[in-house]
Chain A
Amino acid sequence: MNNPYLPQKAEIMEVIQETTSDLDIKTYRVKLLDGGTISFMPGQFIELSIPGVGEAPFGFASSPLDTGYIELSIKRVGLVTEALHSLKAGSKIWLRGPFGNTFPVKEMEGSNILIIAGGLGLAPLRPLILYMFDERNRCKYGDVQMLLAARSTGDFIYRREFEAWERIMDTNIIKTIDRPEEGWNGKVGFPHILVGEIEIDIPNTYAVLCGPPIMIKSVSSRLLEMGIPKFKILTTLEMRMTCGVGKCGKCNIGHQYVCIDGPVFSMAQLAEMPAEY
């Protein structure tokens, strides 16, 4: 029997500083030391350990099609992330996973995609974006529109990639920040308001959103008002997932465990679950 709690040793290949603001977010590119690969699909997460410190769950942030490495974008916020942020390229960490369900990439084929992300919420959606933008897959999806929000210009993650993403055909990126800033030529304002300005082919669109709980709540109710059906609004939830395998009893919402039944849920599913997240 496989022991689901045993992690594998991995090495940090590269550390990329994402933000220039006080929100300290770094992207870690890591690979398994034994040469093995971690194959995953968009939406899944992994448990990262730092020996003697602890373990915490993180969503994948890299393309599932890049098999040589994985990337994780991590904000410095707690015990494990604090320790992680002091590590440099060449340091060893431990990984176990992947865990959880995935975005329904097959069902989403043929539809337009609306991505709405707030701050670090873009990280768990990046695998989906990169998956769709892969040349083998791009033709399977319709227009890709993105509404990317951050508190300020310095808070955007993956800024370096936006230009390349915009060049991909039928792709449109709208960037917004909370307050006006000098030299900013994008939008200013919150996503639940701006989403109304986007031209959406309602019957033919999947909306995928991730961000702070308040953003998920406000944007999803706006999208429902606009007429997007519940089952086509997808989000990914965060919980304190200790074990990742549905045993430890911490991440349940009703009888569903975010670690095995989630983290990706549609608004149709969430509407039937107790509101405890």
Chain B
Amino acid sequence: MAHVVVPKNRLNELLEGWMKNYRVVAPHRNGKALVFEEVKKASDVILNDEITYKSPKEYLFPQVEKIMTFGDGVEPESTEVRKTIVLGVKTCDLEALKVMTAVFTKGKYTDTYFEKNLNNTVLIGLGCRAEKPGCFCNARGLNKAHSQACDMFLTDSGDEYMAEILTCKGEELLEGLQLEEAPSPAAIPQDDNQAGVLEIDGEENVIFNKTDWASISEKCLGCGTCTFICPTCHCFEFKDTVLEGVPVRYRCWDSCMYPKFTIHASGHNPRASKKERYRQRIMHKYLYVKQNFGYTACTGCGRCIRSCPAGMNIKSVVTEIMENLKNS
């Protein structure tokens, strides 16, 4: 579709216009941390090359979401459909949302809650310039400068943003703003240093059985931080409770790093120790999702590496697995 030029000095005007009709979620400074939060003032938006410590997945797949109320019948919670703009989403997170969209909407069943949130969200991507410490999107074969997995993609070019309009939802946002059209660039922005693609390339059973998971996971504290800040982690649990006398069901994020994640009522636990749980995390990301949906569920955003209290590094773990495989 079309390309338009958004001068940076008109950005605030745009934002204020959007805020009238949308909830605008954008990177915003809360204390020291940069987080995706609803912004009420255009000046609160921070569009830079930093990466937020959490991914913006919570606006499509909230950490706690009321999904139904029990009464005479069961009422699905009509989560107020708030049209939302998520602005400034980096390539790694956009690609991750692609994975999550596949998991929730492909196959025999569709997760209607995720789908509804997705339909009411306009994603505005932002090109990324440099890898931050811990980032490894290059190694994962991502083009951090460009992605089409959104409604509009911004590329910073000094005094202005080049906006690539990718969907009708994106087009709607710019209606009536009389922005100057730009010729389609001859080539999409490219990353200069794309390395090979870091993948686990092997048979499920072989990786499962031939890797020394006990020593790989030895340092892991089992805290689950990695899963909460990961842009592709999507496992959840239902929690039932009684609110003001009315039984309700919530859907909450869960983490494969927790012992209670898979425990049966009988007490039997198929993943009883951290070795099994860590194995599940790596294999789910690099093998299972790939087999079921065609994507590797890790985009190299580096969040888990930066936030891990024990210094676990998924990139080196994957590299180690592949080296072991080659040597054996």
Contacts and interface: CB of A to CB of B under 8 A. Distances in A.
Chains A and B touch (C-beta atoms under 8 A apart): yes
A55 B270 CA distance: 20
A254 B236 contact: no
Chain B interface mostly: mixed
A56 interface: yes
B254 to A, nearest CB: 7
Contacts of B236: 242-243, 247-249
A54 B107 contact: no
Interface stretch (A45-53, A138-146, A173-181, A190-198): A45-53
Interface stretch (B36-44, B69-77, B139-147): B69-77
Contact of B264 (A50, A240, A245, A248): A240
A3 interface: yes
Contacts, number: 128
A8 B76 CA distance: 11
A271 to B, nearest CB: 9
Nearest to A252: B288
Interface size on A, as a range, is: 35 or more
A51 B247 contact: yes
Interface stretch (A76-84, A110-118, A154-162, A219-227): A76-84
A77 B265 contact: yes
A118 B204 CA distance: 31
B237 interface: yes
Contacts of A213: 268
A255 B271 CA distance: 15
B28 interface: no
A249 B247 contact: no
A6 B265 contact: no
B67 interface: yes
A250 B240 contact: no
Nearest to B242: A52
A216 to B, nearest CB: 12
10 contacts: A3-B113, A4-B109, A49-B240, A240-B263, A240-B264, A246-B108, A246-B109, A247-B234, A249-B256, A272-B205
The 3 closest A-B pairs by CB, nearest first: A78-B265, A51-B247, A249-B235
Given A5-B67, A77-B266, 4 more contacts: A81-B265, A242-B236, A250-B237, A272-B205
